[in-house]
Amino acid sequence: MTTPSAVTFSRWEEIPREKVTDQISRRLITGQAMMLAHVFLAKGAVVPKHQHHNEQFTYILEGALRFWIGDDQQQVVDVRAGEVLHIPSNVWHKAEALEDTLDMDIFSPPREDWLNHTDSYFHKK
């Protein structure tokens, strides 16, 4: 039997915001097998097309995001406050903020590229 890790407690407002781009910032809470992220996107902010091995849920708390799904970006889904989008592992996706937006992204496993700042897809033109 393994010993459980220590229980932790966090307050979002006490976690500093990390600037990702001029229009996107985030706060992260990470466990051993999951990561929660508050992602703040200004209207018009774009998360470029990318994929990752992490399973993802995006829960919109405020605002709205438009997603383009698939390598061909043929599936378009608008996700608004109170709605959740599930993105399976390795599915190509892109997003744009239709208005100022706060979303909560849940990843399993945690996004190593976000933790070690190698998420260069944010800066591709």
- pLDDT digit string, tens, across residues 90-107: 999 999 999 999 999 999
Q: Give the residue among 66, 113, 103 at the shortest CA–CA distance from 82.
A: 103
* pLDDT tens sequence across 13-46: 999 999 999 999 999 999 999 999 999 999 999 9
Question: CB burial class (10 A; 0-12, 13-18, 19+) of residue 47?
Answer: buried
Query: What pLDDT band is residue 11 in, cutting at 50, 70 and 90?
Result: very high
Name the 3-class secondary structure at 92.
Answer: coil
Mean pLDDT of 68-82: 97
Q: Which of 93, 44, 88 is nearest to 64 (CA)?
A: 44
Q: Which stretches of 42-83 are assigned E, i.e. beta strand?
A: 46-50, 55-62, 64-69, 75-80
The tokens describing 107, both together, are: 């990843």
List the end-to-end C-alpha distance of the chain, in Å, as a whole number: 49
pLDDT, tens digit (0-9, with 9 covering 90-100), for 38-49: 999 999 999 999
Say if pTM beats, i.e. exceeds, 0.85.
yes
Tracing tokens 């190509």 back to the chain, one arrives at 92
